[in-house]
C-alpha cells in the first residue's frame, strides 16, 4: 500500500497564493493541539486521525460484536476526495489497517482492494503457474484458496474555508466507515476534525 497522503488542497492553495502561514493554530479532535508554522497537514496529522478513529472503532460495542468469533478480512474501498486538489489518503488507511491487524481481530486483503495500487499483483500472477510444467505444482496455490474481504473500509476527506477579514479558518474533516461486505450494512462510522486558524493575505479564494 502507498504510504503517503495527498493532502489539503485548500492549504496548498493558500501557500501558492502567497498568504502568510506563520502563527497557524491547529486543533485536533476538539482539543487544543500544538502550534504549527504552516497551513499544511502533516503526515503526523493523518497518523493522529488514524489512531483516533481506529481507537474509537475498536472500542465501540458494534465493532466488538462484529469482530467477535474469529479474524475478519478487510479491504480498502474508495476514499472520496471532496476537496479541490488531489489527496493521498494512504497514510490514513495504511495506519488504520495496521492498527486493525495488530489488534489481532482483523486481517487485510492484498488482492481485493478498490485501488489496484493497493493490491499485490504477484498473488494473482503466481496462480497462472498452474499450467506450467516447469513448476512444482505442490508449491502453487490451489483454486478456491483466496479469501474475499467480509468488511470494507470507505470514507471521505472534505475541506472548508471560512474567512472574516484577514482571519482564516481551514477545517478538514476525515470520515471513515466500516461496512459489512456480505449484508451491505454499515458497522461503524467516525469523523476526525482538523481546524487551523490564522491570518490570510489580501486575496480571496
Q: What's the whole-model pTM score?
A: 0.74
Q: Which residue has the higher pLDDT, 8 or 50?
A: 50
User: How many residues in total does the chain contain?
Assistant: 205
Burial 155-186 (b: 16+ CB within 10 A, else e): bbbebebeeeeeebbbbbbbbbbbbebeeeee
| All structural domains of the chain | 9-123+144-199 (3.40.50)
What band does 40 get if pLDDT is binned at 50, 70 and 90? low
pLDDT digit string (tens) for 77-95? 998 888 766 667 788 889 8
pLDDT digit string (tens) for 171-187? 888 899 999 999 999 99
Which residues, other chains included, contact 139 with Cβ-Cβ below 8 Å and sequence gap of 6+?
none
Distance CA 21, CA 201 (A): 9
Amino acid at each position: 500500500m502507498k504510504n503517503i497522503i495527498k493532502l489539503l488542497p485548500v492549504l496548498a492553495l493558500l501557500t501558492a497564493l502567497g498568504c502568510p502561514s506563520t502563527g497557524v493554530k491547529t486543533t485536533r479532535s476538539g482539543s487544543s493541539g500544538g502550534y504549527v508554522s504552516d497551513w499544511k497537514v502533516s503526515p503526523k496529522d493523518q497518523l493522529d486521525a488514524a489512531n483516533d478513529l481506529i481507537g474509537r472503532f475498536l472500542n465501540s460495542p458494534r465493532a466488538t460484536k462484529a469482530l467477535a468469533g474469529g479474524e475478519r478480512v478487510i479491504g480498502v474501498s474508495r476514499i472520496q476526495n471532496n476537496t479541490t486538489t488531489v489527496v493521498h489518503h494512504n497514510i490514513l488507511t495504511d495506519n488504520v489497517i495496521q492498527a486493525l491487524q495488530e489488534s489481532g481481530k482483523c486481517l487485510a486483503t492484498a488482492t481485493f482492494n478498490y485501488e489496484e495500487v493497493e493490491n499485490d499483483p504477484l498473488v494473482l500472477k503466481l496462480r497462472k503457474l498452474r499450467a506450467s510444467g516447469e513448476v512444482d505444482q505442490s508449491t502453487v496455490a490451489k483454486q478456491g484458496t483466496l479469501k474475499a474481504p467480509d468488511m470494507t473500509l470507505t470514507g471521505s476527506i472534505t475541506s472548508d474555508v471560512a474567512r472574516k477579514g484577514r482571519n482564516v479558518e481551514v477545517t478538514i474533516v476525515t470520515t471513515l466507515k466500516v461496512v459489512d461486505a456480505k449484508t451491505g450494512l454499515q458497522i461503524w462510522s467516525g469523523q476526525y476534525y482538523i481546524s487551523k486558524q490564522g491570518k490570510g493575505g489580501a486575496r480571496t479564494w
